[in-house]
Amino acid sequence: MLTNQGRHSSVLPLLIGFVGVGVGIVAGYLAGAKPLYLCLALVAIPVVILFFTRFEQAVLGLLILRSSLDVFSAQQIPAAFAIALDILTLVYVAIKLLTHQPIQTDWFWWFFAGWVMLQGIWPILCILGGLGLGAFTLLDNIREWTRLFSWLMVYLLVMQLRERLHPEKIISLLFISLIPPVILGLMQQLSSLLSDTDGVRIHGTFAHANNFVLYLLLFIALTCWKLRWAKQHWYWILLLGLLANLYVATGAVFGLVMLATFLLTSILPNLKLSNAIAGVIVIVVLAALFFSTDYGRERLNQIMQTPLLNSDIDISRAIVLSNSDFNSFNWRISQWHYLLQSWQNSPLFGYGLGTSNGFPNYYSLSPYPVPAHNDYVRALVEGGIVGLVTFIIFIGIQGIHLIKLFWRAPHESNQRDLCWSLLAVLLATTVGMLTDNIWSGTAFYFYWWTTYAIAGWNWNELQ
């Protein structure tokens, strides 16, 4: 009888052989049809080999690489990357099953998997004609479901590193992913200063400044966590200052609200007057830096001309003004109004995953062919009442899981501190979802699910 190692050694060469034949066929086609994709396929070959021979290094390398890919969104490189990662993960798990090797999971992964499978109801309903739009939206449904499935695969892939690498080492290596977006962000900031063009929002290697601010928020949280436990503090302080500078330069007002939420939440376990004062000072300084610019003052003036801060402007007037005053806050109110009007025609199951993005225009649910800029409205319009409930439950279970991990971790431990830091980020993003497209931040969620997965490991055993 073959041992587990023997089975693995007999299955792997056969698998590599099939992969080699497949790669040869695909390469022959791409050489004539898509030369760019051929180059990517040739790069993928050593990645696949490393994935099965140097698993830990390959996984970490792929995760680090993700922060640099959004700049190639027009070429659909991030989507191809996610699909390739899904396939690699499934093949790796299949090999482990065939060779009777254990697959690392936890209870939350199974809950996550069940939730993702539940989201598959909407593509099925689309095929059956049970949604508010026709079956021609099937591609949008499949695309969005595949994006959610890729997050599940990231979680599963990272779980396979348990008992191989310590969480602190993984998080430390993830900081390498900061290098390309930070360098490009600084170059964009310098270019703006040299050309004296105030109001230019930096975005690093990301498609939009709002996606960059999400990524920075998570790494500011991880930097603060490192700072509290590091023996030498100065380089973490320098990094925190650098990230805060870029964070303000993104020009995202909702980012300041999220950062304030994160800071106030993160100091609650060790609530002292000095900590509270320090947190408020940081928030005030960053807000002052932002609103001291012409762009910041313009955004502040726009906020003052909304129903939130101006009693003379009601929602109806804000909707009318949004067509002429170029106020993005009033425009958001108008966008939500039109989307909620559309939702009333399909209240239970909505219109399907990915349909609230407003593209293509021939089935736009709003006069504005852009995303909802409110993830709760998005969930309601796309999934109906059922979709919104499942969305809120999913976020709520994430928070409950982090709280349980926090209480279970040893007191005065870095694992306990990390769990609370992630809980603060989760709370900050749920606040940010009120006015922006947090759920669309694919790169952010790659790193979120990586840190979220390892927060639940037994750090004492790994130590």
**Rounded to an integer, what distance in angstroms lies between the CA atom of residue 177 and that of residue 61?**
9
Q: What's the CA gap between 366 and 396, in Å, rounded? A: 29
For residues 260 and 285, what is the distance between their CA atoms, to the nearest angstrom? 11
pLDDT above 90 covers a percentage of the chain that reads 46
Question: What is the per-residue pLDDT across 143-156, written as a single tens digit (0 to 9) for each?
Answer: 999 999 999 999 99
d(CA 383, CA 347): 9
CB 208 within 8 A of CB 251: no
Cβ pair 365, 342 in contact under 8 A? yes
Euclidean distance between CA atoms 216 and 182, whole angstroms: 9
Percentage of the chain exceeding pLDDT 70: 80
Burial class of 96 by CB neighbour count within 10 A (0 to 12, 13 to 18, 19+): middle
* Cα–Cα distance for residue pair 237/2, rounded to 1 Å: 54
Q: Which of helix, strand or coil describes residue 66?
A: helix
The pLDDT value given to residue 186? 94
Could you tell me which of 294, 357, 304 has the C-alpha nearest to residue 327? 304
161 — pLDDT class (breaks 50, 70, 90): very high
Mean pLDDT computed over 16-38 = 50
In this prediction, residue 321 carries a pLDDT of 64
The 10 Å CB-count burial string (b at 16+, else e) for 24-63 is eeeeeebeeeeeebbebbeebeeebeebbeeeeebbbebb
- The predicted structure's pLDDT at residue 177: 96
With bands split at pLDDT 50, 70 and 90, how would you rate the model's confidence at 462? low
Give residue 179's pLDDT.
Answer: 96
pLDDT reported for residue 5 = 45
Amino acid letter, 153:
M
Burial 247-270 (b: 16+ CB within 10 A, else e): bbbbbbbbbbbbbbbbbbbbbeee
Model confidence band, residue 324 (pLDDT cutoffs 50, 70, 90): low
pLDDT band at 193 (very low <50, low <70, confident <90, very high): confident
Chain mean pLDDT for the chain: 83
- Listed in sequence order, the residues at least 6 apart from 41 whose beta carbon sits closer than 8 Å to its beta carbon are 23, 26, 27, 30
Per-residue DSSP letter, 410 = P
Q: Is the pLDDT of residue 296 over 80?
A: no
pLDDT band for 395, please (50, 70, 90 cuts): very high
Q: How does pLDDT run across 211-260, given as a tens digit for each residue?
A: 999 999 999 999 999 988 877 788 899 999 999 999 988 888 888 899 99
In angstroms, the CA 224 to CA 227 distance is 5
What span, in angstroms and rounded, lies between the C-alpha atoms of 330 and 318?
A: 5
For 299, residues 6+ apart whose C-beta sits below 8 A from its C-beta are 251, 253, 291
Please state, in angstroms and rounded to a whole number, the distance separating the CA atoms of residues 218 and 450. 11
DSSP-derived 3-state class of residue 302: helix
pLDDT at 273: 65
Lowest mean pLDDT among 137-141, 401-405, 424-428: 137-141
Q: With cut-offs at 50, 70 and 90, classify the pLDDT of residue 325.
A: low
Lowest mean pLDDT among 180-189, 229-238, 290-299: 290-299
| Cα distance between residue 438 and residue 217, in whole Å | 12
**pLDDT at residue number 392:** 97
Q: What is the pLDDT of residues 29-57, one digit of tens each?
A: 444 445 555 555 556 677 777 777 888 99
Average pLDDT on 51-77 reads: 88
443-461 residue pLDDT tens: 999 999 999 999 999 887 6
CB 123 within 8 A of CB 137: no
Return the C-alpha torsion angle 448, 264, 288, 324, nearest 10: 70
pTM above 0.85, yes or no: yes
Comparison of pLDDT for 447 and 12, the residue scoring more: 447
Between vectors from CA 321 to CA 315 and to CA 322, what angle results, nearest 5°? 90
Residue in the block written with tokens 């093949």: 91
Distance between CA atoms of 36 and 272, rounded to whole angstroms?
A: 57
- CA–CA dist 216, 246 (Å, integer): 8
Query: Residue 2 — pLDDT band, cuts 50, 70, 90?
Result: very low
- Please report the pLDDT score of residue 6 as a whole number: 45
The arithmetic mean of pLDDT across residues 190-208, rounded, is 81
DSSP assignment of 150-166 equals HHHHHHHHHHTTTTTS-
Residue 323: burial class (beta carbons within 10 Å; 0-12, 13-18, 19+): exposed
Q: Cis bond leading into 410, ω under 30°? A: no
